[in-house]
Amino acid sequence: MIHQPDIAEVDRILDRTGRGADAVIPALQAIQRQYRYLPEEALRHLCANSDITPAAVESVATFFSQFRRRPVGEHIISVCDGTACHVKGAPAVYDAVAQRLGLNGNEDTDAAAQFTVQKVSCLGCCTLAPVVQIDGVTYGHMNPEGVSQMLADFLEHKKNTSHKAPSRHEDIGAGEIRVGLGSCCVAGGSEKVRAALDAALAAIRSDVRVKRVSCVGMCHQTPLLDIRLPGRPPILYAKVQPEDVRAILARHFQPAAPWIRLRAAVTSRLEHLYTEDGRDAPRRCSLDARDAPVAAFLAAQRRLATEYCGELDPVDIEEYQRLGGFEALHRCLGLSSAESGCLDPQQIIEEIRRSGLRGRGGAGFPTAAKWQAVREASGESKYLICNGDEGDPGAFMDRMILESYPFRVIEGMIIASLAVGAHAGVFYIRAEYPLAVRRVSAAIHACEAAGFLGDSVLDSGHAFRLRIMEGAGAFVCGEETALIASIEGRRGTPAFRPPYPAEHGLYGCPTLVNNTETFALVPWILRHGAGQFAALGVDHSKGTKVFSLAGKIARGGLIEVPMGMTIRQIVDEIGGGVANGRTLKAVQIGGPSGGCIPAALADIPVDYEALTEAGAMMGSGGLVVLDDTDCMVEMAHYFLSFTQRESCGKCTPCRVGTKRMLELLTRLCRGEGKPADIDQLEHLAGVVKRQSLCGLGKTAPNPILTTLRYFRDEFEAHAEGRCPAGRCKALITYSITEACIGCTKCAQRCSVQAIAMKPYQQHEIDATRCIRCDTCRQVCPVDAVHVE
Amino acid sequence: MPRLTIDGKAVDAPAGASVLEAAGLAGVSIPTLCHAPGVRALTSCMICVVEERGSGRTVPACATIVEEGMIIETNTTAIRNARREVLQLLLSEHAGDCEAPCRRACPASMDIPLMLRRIAKGDMDTAARIAARDLVLPATLGCVCEAPCETACRRAGLDEAVSIRALHRAVAEAAHGMRLDCQPSTGKRVAVIGAGPAGLGAAVALRRFGHGCCVYEKRAHAGGALRDMPESRLPRAILEMEIDAIRRMDVAFRFGVDVGAAIPLTSLVNEHDAVIVASGGIEAQGEAVFAAPEHRMTVRAIAAGKRAAEAAHRRIALGGSAEPAKPYDAHLGRLEPEQLERYAGNRVAPEALARSRQSENLRGEAGRCLHCDCHAPVSCKLRQYATEYGARPATYRAPARPEVGVTQRHGGVLFDPGKCIKCGLCVEITHQSGEALGLTFVGRGFATRVAVPFNESIEAALRVSAEACVAACPTGALAFADTEERRPCE
């Protein structure tokens, strides 16, 4: 359905965004929100009525993946192809969606223009992998055969979208129920659970308080309900469904008025809950912190950036203050009751220096040195940027920190602004993280109202203001010069450094760019002192690091551990080992800039130097566990296809080199490669690594170089036409062995009718129809599906 | 003024200057594709990399600001290899020809597209001169040549090849034998043995270099095997006309002299600065003796003569310099029918595209040419550096041929996207000159291309900056449709 756009709306948008050349990205985002794509008439009108040029519009609108130039279907289906989703079968889910919509070739919208399907880099819900999002609704743990059901469910729920805003209860006399409302939990259905809670509590006229809390980190158990009753230990319900809510309530809370019908109705569910109240119930069970697995998940962690995880209401500034928030800022400003005298900027930097804090964005540059450089740079205005453009597929630390601890990051930024002398700051947050944008925005308003931000921070005379810039979808904008270019309204292409942003950054002014997690650690350091921070960690890597643990792991989630912990400890102790009893093959660390560390090296510690030495890198902290069914050549292909797609296209080595490398890898994965291709791949990887302009290009070959280093035999096997892990579709065939009991499960689930239904007989797979989606192997109860 | 060392030379460069500028001051040339004076460093091509000894880093010279005490190496093996790799990557996505397929197919490397364009413009005299210069016997070849050019002609894929042979015959006949201009006399003398096509080819080339030339022929006439052809294939009058034109270029002929039998080769060698053997039966031995073997294909024989003359010229006039490297020659290769249609699209006017082969209408027929040759065969820096750094085109071979772009042609400006290396100079220049539309990058990563916003015409994009953009374009991607650039010797 294409409507003639109402051009007058563009004028209203320009009134909001401003008409300067740097308004181009916000203006295009607003236009797209209005029309759901960028109609050319609207763009021409935009150019005619602002300083934005046609060249700028074209170059920006085609650079960022968020922007669409063609009309889209009524609903947009985003299939996440982040690392965790990828290894758990996202490509097959995408194929199934495309097949269900009847798409051919490069089509992305069905004939009725009802759905448009797209692959997205990462929705940041790695523990629910594979994830599909339709408009705002997230479906986790998807599989190809569930696609039809998902679409039906979506259309069903769309019809009754009477979403009333939940009211907030202040009275906590009868107890409190905490609902995790981080993206993972929301994706896991916590909004539905919360709506059910509100409804159920209203029904029993209870005044129990429902509190939303930050991400608990146990994303493998979402949605989580945490029941707090006065004088009793907390009770945690995991993987709660809306229909469980009444039962849970009935179990813990007395209704204000007895309602026989309700009670009768829930009896059976209540029993179900009681009977399944065991430790191993797969779907729903109550947990408590004394349970061994939960204890293991939590015990080895050390929470600094994610302090008060699962307790803090993300946007409650008073609670943040009650729990020590803004104490560090008070100390810097000399307003602390404990000590007298303020910390001058140099003293703040010294404190950071003594703590040994290094940038958490990946490269690990010493934070104090960066601050010092900005402080010493001459310039009328200085800027601060919080880099929350977390684009790694398989990483969601920044998202979680921004969603759960916006005040902590803001406090870190205010302290940094004092240290470097900046008066304006920008939050650069991916547009794919709408919840983070909303929370940070609310937190900024709260801070302004409370005097933490504004013309005089806590009456100190230091002015500091913050604004949010939504990234429009380009991984390369995580690189600081590209990030700055995009804030200035240009394509996100990196510039050669030096000059570093510390001297010549945003609008040519000295600019401090730090990662979200780095800022989040600052208040803790200044509150507890550099010594306590430096006491954690190892030689050159101090403090803690937040990782998103995902992939083939029993207990995925967001974790924060002291630096120096070994990979094996993280996987085994915190993550509970590899899922489904398979064996650990490798851990991909650092995302597309990092590498695959083989199981044999799992005892290396996570610190900057050790990881770099192993060929990986800390990166921003994605940690994806791979098991023996994962093909390393396919993984290399996956990461390279990501960086190749995300290459900005500016410098030749990265623009053309990554493309040629990807072609070589594609040939290998299709069984069309030759042994000489492996040598050329290695050679070209060296060229791209040495000769690219920016960090993206220089690190893009890392996943290939590490897999070549540790798993060269798999590349050689592919050159001979074999995929040892049985993953590369062109190199494998599915067949059913004599072990088949004729249960027909595979035939029922096969989405392409490649298996004829033959009850009580051995089934057969029609190789010409088979799309190698792996469903039959997964559903077979007797392991009779053979892949080779 | 910071002082730095570039390739061992100390240089004082103004503060804030780039290493590239400092190298210019030191007289060290660093190759670059994406840099132009007055334009900020774009750091897109990454050809200008140099080694900064202090950090050991390989950095782009255009964007690296000079510092006191810097030590820069611009020409190490590692740096040369790095540049070659980048060139090879650029060439792997290059969709265009340096030379037209017809010219490449011609053994005598005749500048066919240029000749055709002169004919199409009605400038028959220049066309005839080009034909005579390259073919030596253009009218004769117009009768006897196997015309590999027409087999290679890309137009043949659309309908029929351009009648190249008929056209060079027609212009040459109309010119009644072209006396080509010669360089002032060098005082050097070269003997040519044999007055067949190879000998004649050598003689004309030598005279054009300004060398004295005497042709020794055992028969009584010049022309060799051409004389034995039937009149129906080669009218004697045409051959005579062309031999006469050669005679008028002050080529001396000694007929009836059997070198080897009557006069020993050594005596010719002693009396001349060089000897070219263009006759069978004599072995070309000795330092100043060059062979120009005859060939049953006349045009090959003529080409052999020209090559021998060039070799002799290098020895006697250029101090024995080595044969210059053959310029890198990018090949677009054979196009599938649909690609060919896209390719031909805007390269010629629609009526010329629709016109079928008709060799009697000279101008109309010449207008059918698709102009496959590059508009910047000499100034193209990509070609120069590819030649200089020995880039091999097939190193990084794409599984599919690079996309053949649709040439845009408006108001005299021509944009051939297949030759664009996305350096960004034109984008930057149109921005600087305040073009209302200008050019811009569209897309991201490998798919990035230069385009006019909102799909407007290239003419609308370049209202004021066409000249600057064409001048800055490092390849033949942006050009004025009517420019012809050729090497001085052409």
C-alpha to C-alpha distance for A320 and A313, rounded to whole angstroms = 8
**A681 in contact with B, Cβ within 8 Å:** no
pLDDT digits (tens, 9 = 90+) for A35-93: 989 999 999 999 999 999 999 999 999 999 899 988 889 999 999 888 888 888 899 89
Q: What is the pLDDT of residue A191?
A: 76
A771: tokens are: 């799309």
Residues 440-459, chain B: which have Cβ within 8 Å of A?
A: 440-448, 451, 453-454
Q: What's the 3-state SS for A131-195? A: CEEECCEEECCCCHHHHHHHHHHHHHHHHCCCCCCCCCCCCCCCCEEEEECCHHHHHHCHHHHHH
pLDDT at A256 over 80: no
- Count helices and strands (H / E) in chain A: 31, 20
Question: Residue range A316-336: average pLDDT?
Answer: 92
B89–A660 C-beta distance less than 8 A: yes
pLDDT digits (tens, 9 = 90+) for A565-620: 999 999 999 989 998 888 999 999 988 889 999 999 999 999 999 999 998 888 87
Q: Which of B18, B19, B46 is the best mutation test for A, with the most CBs of A within 10 A?
A: B46
A649–B447 C-beta distance less than 8 A: yes
Q: What is the pLDDT of residue A172?
A: 36
B82–A690 C-beta distance less than 8 A: yes
- Residues in B closer than 8 angstroms to A656, CB to CB, are 89-90, 92-93, 396, 446
pLDDT digits (tens, 9 = 90+) for A346-378: 999 999 999 999 999 878 999 999 999 999 999
Whether the complex's predicted ipTM surpasses the cut of 0.85: yes
Question: Residue range A310-334: average pLDDT?
Answer: 91
Sign of CA dihedral B125, B126, B128, B132: positive
Confidence class of residue A771 from pLDDT cuts 50, 70 and 90?
Answer: confident
Q: Which of A435-444, A529-538, B137-146, B329-338 has the lowest mean pLDDT?
A: B329-338
**A582 in contact with B, Cβ within 8 Å:** no
Query: What percentage of chain A reaches a pLDDT higher than 90?
Result: 54
B201: tokens are: 């080819």
Q: What is the pLDDT of residue A291?
A: 55
Compare B120 and A397 and report the one with higher pLDDT: B120
- Residues in A closer than 8 angstroms to B421, CB to CB, are 652
B43–A651 C-beta distance less than 8 A: yes
**B44 in contact with A, Cβ within 8 Å:** yes
Query: What three-state secondary structure class fits B65?
Result: strand
Q: Which of B18, B396, B456 is the best mutation test for A, with the most CBs of A within 10 A?
A: B396
Q: Are B202 and B309 in contact (CB under 8 A)?
A: yes
pLDDT at A632 over 90: yes
pLDDT at A233 over 90: no
B46–A652 C-beta distance less than 8 A: yes
Q: CB under 8 Å to A238, separation ≥6 — which residues?
A: A218, A221, A222, A224, A284, A285, A286, A287
The nearest CA of chain A is from the CA of B329 a distance in Å of 20
pLDDT at A281 over 50: no
A59–B442 C-beta distance less than 8 A: yes
**B438 in contact with A, Cβ within 8 Å:** yes
B444–A648 C-beta distance less than 8 A: yes
pLDDT digits (tens, 9 = 90+) for A283-294: 333 444 445 666
- Residues in A closer than 8 angstroms to B79, CB to CB, are none
Q: Are A87 and A510 in contact (CB under 8 A)?
A: no
Q: What is the pLDDT of residue B167?
A: 97
Question: Residue range A282-310: average pLDDT?
Answer: 65
- Residues in B closer than 8 angstroms to A684, CB to CB, are 396
Q: What is the pLDDT of residue A340?
A: 60
**A781 in contact with B, Cβ within 8 Å:** no
A691–B49 C-beta distance less than 8 A: yes
- Residues in B closer than 8 angstroms to A56, CB to CB, are 440
Residues facing B57 on adjacent strands:
B52
C-alpha to C-alpha distance for A240 and A273, rounded to whole angstroms = 11
CA trace torsion B175, B176, B179, B180 (10° rounding): 40
Residues 354-383, chain B: which have Cβ within 8 Å of A?
A: none
**A106 in contact with B, Cβ within 8 Å:** no
Q: Residue A499, preceding bond cis, omega within 30 degrees?
A: yes
Q: CB-CB: which of A58, A660, A690 is closest to B442?
A: A58
**B65 in contact with A, Cβ within 8 Å:** yes
C-alpha to C-alpha distance for B270 and B274, rounded to whole angstroms = 9
Q: What is the pLDDT of residue B274?
A: 95
- Residues in A closer than 8 angstroms to B399, CB to CB, are 663, 667
Intervals of chain B under pLDDT 70: 488-490
B430–A657 C-beta distance less than 8 A: no
pLDDT digits (tens, 9 = 90+) for A108-161: 899 999 999 998 877 767 777 888 888 877 788 888 888 888 888 888 877 654
C-alpha to C-alpha distance for B132 and B204, rounded to whole angstroms = 10
- Residues in A closer than 8 angstroms to B65, CB to CB, are 498-499
Q: What is the pLDDT of residue A328?
A: 95
Q: Indicate the angle between helix axes B236-247 and B164-174, nearest 10 degrees.
A: 60
pLDDT at A7 over 80: yes
DSSP B412-458: TEEE-GGG-----HHHHHHHHTT-SS--EEESSGGG-EEE-GGG--H
- Residues in A closer than 8 angstroms to B402, CB to CB, are none
**A367 in contact with B, Cβ within 8 Å:** no
pLDDT at A255 over 80: no
Q: CB-CB: which of B64, B86, B447 is closest to A691?
A: B86
C-alpha to C-alpha distance for B409 and B395, rounded to whole angstroms = 32
Q: What is the pLDDT of residue B399?
A: 83
Q: CB under 8 Å to B4, separation ≥6 — which residues?
A: B10, B11, B13, B19, B22, B66, B67, B68, B69, B70, B71, B72
Q: What is the pLDDT of residue A258?
A: 36
pLDDT digits (tens, 9 = 90+) for A447-474: 999 999 999 999 999 999 999 999 998 9
Nearest CA in chain A to B49: A691
Q: CB under 8 Å to A159, separation ≥6 — which residues?
A: none
Nearest CA in chain A to B83: A691
The nearest CA of chain B is from the CA of A62 a distance in Å of 5
Query: What three-state secondary structure class fits B218?
Result: coil
A652–B441 C-beta distance less than 8 A: no
Compare A260 and A5 and report the one with higher pLDDT: A5
Q: CB-CB: which of B41, B441, B446 is closest to A491?
A: B441
- Amino acid at the residue A298: L
- Residues in B closer than 8 angstroms to A53, CB to CB, are 431, 438, 453
Q: What is the pLDDT of residue B349?
A: 85
The pTM assigned to this predicted structure is: 0.88
**B465 in contact with A, Cβ within 8 Å:** no
